[in-house]
Amino acid sequence: MEPAELLLAMRDLRVAAGQPSLRDLVNRAAVPGGGGSYLPRTTIGDVLNGKRACTDAVLLHFVKACGVTHESEIHQWMNAWKRAYQSEGVTSRYSTAC
């Protein structure tokens, strides 16, 4: 899997989740106790627009914010991230982008 394929899958997941706004995604990933969000608006906006590589933490909070709750599905998403970003050369290319 390439990073572009993961990005397309993320966009499809967002559509399947009812196309929540970036603000809704941020709110769904809020840190308990009002300490901000695990999914900053600028970060997720840049990822979804292809301006920034997706980190594993951003992907985890994004899929949860889109309503993915089953551990097996979350595991599949994280495996997709590993295939997209841990292949040789990809991680180093994007290490400063996030």
What's this model's pTM, rounded to 2 decimal places?
0.85
Q: Which residues, 6+ apart, have CB-to-CB distance to 7 below 8 Å?
A: 47, 48, 50, 54
Joined together, the tokens standing for residue 7 give: 């990005």
pLDDT, position 3: 92
Name residues whose C-beta falls within 8 Å of residue 37's C-beta, 6 or more positions apart in sequence. Answer: 26, 27, 29, 30, 31
SS3 label, residue 21: coil
Q: What is the pLDDT of residue 52?
A: 94
pLDDT, averaged in runs of 10, over the chain (98 residues): 93 97 95 88 95 95 96 96 77 41
pLDDT for residue 96 = 37
